[in-house]
Structure 1
Amino acid sequence: MHGTVDGFSYGLVTPLVAYVMACLGGALGLRCTTRALLVAHSWRPGWLALGSAAIGSGIWTMHFVAMMGFTVQGAPIHYDKPMTYGSLGVAVVMVGVGIFIVGYRGATGTALFTGGTLTGLGIASMHYLGMAGMRLNGTFEYNSLTVYVSVAIAMAAATAALWAAGQVRGFLWSVGAALVMGLAVTGMHYTGMAALSVRLHTGGAPTPGDSPATLLAPMLIGPLAFLCLAGAVVMFDPLMVTGRPDRTFAPHRPGVPAHPVVGHAARSARLRGRRNAAGQESRTPQNR
Structure 2
Amino acid sequence: MAEINHFEYGWITPALSYALSVLGSCLGLVCAGRIRTAQTPGQRALWGTLAALALGGTAIWTMHFMAMLGFAVDGTRIRYDVPVTVASAAFAIGAVGIGLAIVGTGRVSVPRIAVGGLFTGAGVAAMHYTGMAAMRLNGSLRYDQTRVILSVVIAVVAATVALWLAVTVRRGLAIFASALVMGIAVNGMHFTGMSALSVHLHEQRGEVTGAEVSTLLVPIILAVIFVVVGLVYALLAAPTDEDRAAAAYLDGRRIDPPEEPMSPAPPAADPVGLRARSTFGAGTPFPSRRDTPPR
CA offsets per residue over residues 67-97 of structure 1, 9 Å max, x none? 0000001110000000001111111111100
Matched, 1:143 2:128: no
Percent of pairs with identical residues:
40
Change (3 A) 1:8 1:37: same
Q: Contact 1:23–1:179 (CA<8 Å) still a contact in 2?
A: yes
Deviates more, 1:166-175 or 1:192-201: 166-175
What's the CA shift for 1:162?
Answer: 1.3
Change (3 A) 1:200 1:106: farther
Matched, 1:101 2:111: no
Q: Contact 1:78–1:215 (CA<8 Å) still a contact in 2?
A: no
Alignment of 1:18-37 (within 5 A): 18-37=17-36
Q: Contact 1:76–1:210 (CA<8 Å) still a contact in 2?
A: no
Q: Contact 1:29–1:55 (CA<8 Å) still a contact in 2?
A: yes
Alignment of 1:152-231 (within 5 A): 152-204=153-205, 213-224=213-224, 225-231=226-232
What's the CA shift for 1:223?
Answer: 2.7
Alignment of 1:3-82 (within 5 A): 3-42=2-41, 43-58=43-58, 59-82=60-83
1:114 and 1:162 mapped to 2: Cα distance?
10
Matched, 1:271 2:270: no
2:183 and 2:214 mapped to 1: Cα distance?
25
Aligned to 1:257: none
Q: Which runs of 5+ in 2 are unaligned?
A: 260-295
What's the CA shift for 1:98?
Answer: 0.3
Q: Contact 1:105–1:111 (CA<8 Å) still a contact in 2?
A: no
- SS of residue in 2 equivalent to 1:3: coil
Aligned to 2:273: none
1:211 and 1:16 mapped to 2: Cα distance?
24
Deviates more, 1:78-87 or 1:39-48: 39-48
Q: Contact 1:106–1:166 (CA<8 Å) still a contact in 2?
A: no
2:236 and 2:257 mapped to 1: Cα distance?
32
Q: Which amino acid aligns with 1:76?
A: R
1:230 and 1:67 mapped to 2: Cα distance?
25
Q: Which amino acid aligns with 2:55?
A: I
Q: Contact 1:79–1:215 (CA<8 Å) still a contact in 2?
A: no
Q: Contact 1:30–1:51 (CA<8 Å) still a contact in 2?
A: yes
Q: Contact 2:138–2:202 (CA<8 Å) still a contact in 1?
A: yes
- SS of residue in 1 equivalent to 2:141: strand
TM-score (norm 2): 0.78
CA offsets per residue over residues 19-67 of structure 1, 9 Å max, x none? 1111111111111111111121332111111101111111111000000
CA offsets per residue over residues 222-248 of structure 1, 9 Å max, x none? 431223321332355575xxxxx559x
Q: Contact 2:78–2:208 (CA<8 Å) still a contact in 1?
A: no
Larger Rg: 2
1:212 and 1:17 mapped to 2: Cα distance?
19
Q: Contact 1:76–1:211 (CA<8 Å) still a contact in 2?
A: no
Q: Which runs of 5+ in 1 are unaligned?
A: 240-244, 248-261, 275-288
Q: Which amino acid aligns with 2:232?
A: G
Aligned length: 254
- SS of residue in 2 equivalent to 1:139: strand
TM-score (norm 1): 0.80
2:144 and 2:237 mapped to 1: Cα distance?
46
Q: Which amino acid aligns with 1:14?
A: T
